[in-house]
Amino acid sequence: MKKYLLLLLLTGWMFQSCKHDFKNPVNPDDVEVTSGDADFSVYVAVGNSLSAGYMNGTLHNSGQAYSFPKLLADRMQEAGGGAFTQPYMDDDPEDVGGMKMGSTVIMQPKLVVDAADKAVERINKTPSMQLEPHPGPYNNMGVPGAKIYHYVYNGYGNIANMLNGTANPYFVRMASRPDASVLEDVLAQRPTFFTLWLGNNDVLWYATSGGAGVNQTGNTDPSTYGPNDLTDPGLFAYLYNQILQALTAGGAKGAVATLPDVASIPFMTTIHYNPIPLDQATADALNQAYAQYNGGLQLALANGLITQEEAQKRTIQFQAGNNAMVMIDEDLTDLSALGLPSLRQTTANDLIPLTAASVIGQPDPNNNQLIMGVTSPLPDQYVLTETETAEVRSVTAQMNGVIRALAQQYGLALADMEQAMDELAQGIRLEDGSVYTADYFNGVATMPSLFFSLDGVHPNRKGYVILANRFIDAINAKYGSTLRKYDPGYFDTNITILPQN
């Protein structure tokens, strides 16, 4: 009976959320829509997954149709804008997402809500779409996964480079030719207007990997970078300027966007630092198990190997109630000579990526007698420490400084997505009184107010509408255009709920 009632509620919500017209008005009908000083006849979007319409952990048609560039282009067409093409996944008829190369799944399908398990998980279907070229170029040149240096790399769309990891399957699909760079395909269209939102992945991957990469500040050679490394801000500044020089050489106007604080997205903030519930008896048993380790810390302290502060930080202590997790912290003093690993418990200053949800409290795959986060420490990739968070925010701040300065230098509109995301974390109240939050999905009742999709990184449909409106505000303010904004309340969240996955 409870499941039946839940399904009725879910069905009712989905029916209500999908009944609105796509082209909803916000501006009064008697306001003439004009382009102002801008020319929207050839609009090209330069970016990554946030421009592509990536949603719920994959790229699929139902997300692409609501990409912010597509929403923006629809409004531009009311002011003289031309056609806008996107590399739709039309060879994915079930809208599952994901991709195969031969029989190997190389990109995963979309995330859904399993109502029976009350869990977010990958849909239980195998992707049908094969990695095959569908040559562009396209107006939407958002390439999921692309960092700024990938944009100028020739061969990024060459399927032969998939084996050595230097090609991107999404650009393989959309590149005009195998040896083209993304920027070359952008410029070949001779845009009269562009949006540029690059740099997110240059910090995001380091954060979402729990700082498992390297902070490459000072290293301007991207050929030496690993996939999860932080991009050098100097390299970012050089390439961002080169891209803007190329885009504006023919007189094109455009809008650039700052980078959000990736440490504040639901992917990094949903899991609390103390998710381990214990009764007193279990806590006592665990404290006994760690007594030898704690005693070793006191020995190290007595011999001047660590400070009192570090000894306290490293001491493992459990109690009845919710407890912090045991983790590996590579920034701690190396005490391996004493047989002591670099362990401590998580604190409120640590960020736990959503990927950790699959391992916390589960048996250690290398020893099923141990429990991850309790008797077996969480590996580095499952915790972004306070030090690593500071690195992410420092690099992001430097990159945003570059974006703001170059926007002014080139006379471009600036969409401040850093500010927008900061506001979102507090809850954005729109003109109609609606409030949208950065909370992660935790039940059907929360869905109408959510901004993020189920992956905790990318917006949902409502979220992309809000982003499109931010660009519209910036463009109208800079160029005197009167592009119409959207009402986010007319859009659903594109969250798929299955009775059982």
User: Is the distance from CB of 112 to CB of 454 less than 8 angstroms?
Assistant: yes
* Pairing assessment for the beta strands 43-47 and 99-101 based on DSSP bridges: unpaired
| Nearest one of 356, 278, 357 to 318, comparing CA atoms | 278
Provide the pLDDT for residue 12. 36
Q: What's the CA dihedral at 350, 356, 361, 364 to 10 degrees?
A: -110
- Chain centroid to CA 36: 33
**Domain 2-269+386-498, classified CATH 3.40.50.1110, yes or no:** yes
Distance CA(274)–CA(112), nearest Å, equals 26
Q: What is the pLDDT of residue 19?
A: 33
Tell me the pLDDT tens digit for each residue of 127-174.
999 999 999 999 999 999 999 999 999 999 999 999 999 999 999 999
Asked whether 44 and 186 are in contact (CB, 8 A), the reply is yes
Query: Using CA atoms, how far apart are residues 230 and 74, in angstroms rounded to an integer?
Result: 35
In terms of DSSP bridges, do strands 43-47 and 193-197 run parallel, antiparallel, or are they unpaired? parallel
Question: How far from chain centre, in Å, is Cα 383?
Answer: 17
Handedness of CA 221, 391, 56, 71 (dihedral sign): negative
Per-residue pLDDT of the chain (501 residues; tens, 9 = 90+): 333 223 333 333 333 333 333 455 556 566 799 999 999 999 999 999 999 999 999 999 999 999 999 999 999 999 999 999 999 999 999 999 999 999 999 999 999 988 888 888 999 999 999 999 999 999 999 999 999 999 999 999 999 999 999 999 999 999 999 999 999 999 999 999 999 999 999 999 999 999 999 999 999 999 999 999 999 999 999 999 999 999 999 999 999 999 999 988 889 998 999 999 999 999 999 999 999 999 999 999 999 999 999 999 999 999 999 999 999 999 999 999 999 999 999 999 999 999 999 999 999 999 999 999 999 999 999 999 999 999 999 999 999 999 999 999 999 999 999 988 777 666 666 566 666 666 666 665 456 667 889 999 999 999 899 999 999 999 999 999 999 999 988 998 888 888 888
pLDDT, position 22: 44
pLDDT of residue 426: 65
* 3-class secondary structure, 424: helix
Q: What are phi and psi of 210, to 5 degrees?
A: 70, 30
Domain boundaries, the chain: 2-269+386-498, 276-345+351-382
CB-CB neighbours of 267 under 10 Å: 23
Of 193, 182, 146, nearest to 44 (Cα)? 193
Residue 164 phi/psi, 5-degree rounding, is -100, 5
What is residue 448's predicted lDDT score, i.e. its pLDDT?
A: 62
Distance between CA atoms of residues 250 and 359, nearest Å = 52
- CA 161 to chain centroid, in Å, comes to 25
> ∠ CA 81-402-254 to the nearest 5 degrees?
10
Q: Report the interhelical angle of 386-409 vs 200-208 (nearest 10°).
A: 170
Which two tokens mark 183?
């920027």
Do residues 206 and 392 make contact, with C-beta atoms less than 8 angstroms apart?
A: yes
Q: Cis link prior to 499 (omega < 30° from 0)? A: no
Q: Are 270 and 354 in contact (CB under 8 A)?
A: yes
- Output DSSP code: residue 117: T
Tokens of 369: 């007698």
Residue 428's pLDDT is 61
In 10 A of CB 8, how many CB atoms?
10
Whole-prediction pTM value?
A: 0.90
370 token code pair: 């141990």
Category of 148 on φ-ψ map: left (φ > 0), alpha (ψ -120 to 50) or beta: alpha
Listed residue (150, 148, 217) closest to 390, CA to CA:
217
